[in-house]
Structure 1
């Protein structure tokens, strides 16, 4: 279960890193993103597809660009990740409390 969670977090980090590159370098294509990140083309392509499905980017003939929804997502990201981090910290504390008893 933990391995699966770790893989999901790694994938999310990749998606967000690619989104950050699109934001700063739009329009940008798969090859350039791959060169900048070191991610394989198929992983970049998958992340771009996920970001497109979330309406955070859109494909153009020049490469991926942001959408009207991107800035709102970025603004909410810190709040949401802080909440998730607190939940994970709570899990850690629960494990500590249980092991003490």
Structure 2
């Protein structure tokens, strides 16, 4: 159960790292992103496709570039991550002695 969540978080981390590279280096292509991140080309390509479906990036002849929606997404991102962290913190089972007792 928790393994699935961990995989999703890892994938989200990759998507956000790819988005950050686009923001900082646009236009940027798959090969450069793969070389700089160490992610295989197919994983970078998948992240780019997900980001494009969310309208956060778009392709150009020189590589991926950000869209009008990118800045708003980034502005909201920290708050959304904080909300998720708070929710996860609330799920912790703090005192194992209570469970065993």
Corresponding residue pairs, total: 98
Q: Residues 61-83 of structure 1, C-alpha deviation per residue, up to 9 Å, x if partnerless?
A: 10000000000000000000000
For residues 90 and 3 of structure 2, the distance between their equivalents in structure 1, rounded to whole angstroms, comes to: 19
1:100: Cα distance to partner? 3.7
Residue 54 of structure 1 corresponds to 54
TM-score, length of structure 1 as denominator length: 0.94
TM-score by length of 2: 0.94
Match of 1:25?
25
5+ residue gaps, structure 1 = none
CA distance in structure 1 between the partners assigned to 2:97 and 2:79 by the alignment? 32
RMSD over aligned CA atoms reads 0.8
Cα shift at 1:96: 1.6
Q: What SS is found at the alignment partner of 2:58?
A: strand
Query: Using the alignment, how far apart are the partners of 2:49 and 2:20 within structure 1?
Result: 15
Corresponding position: 1:42 with 2:45: no
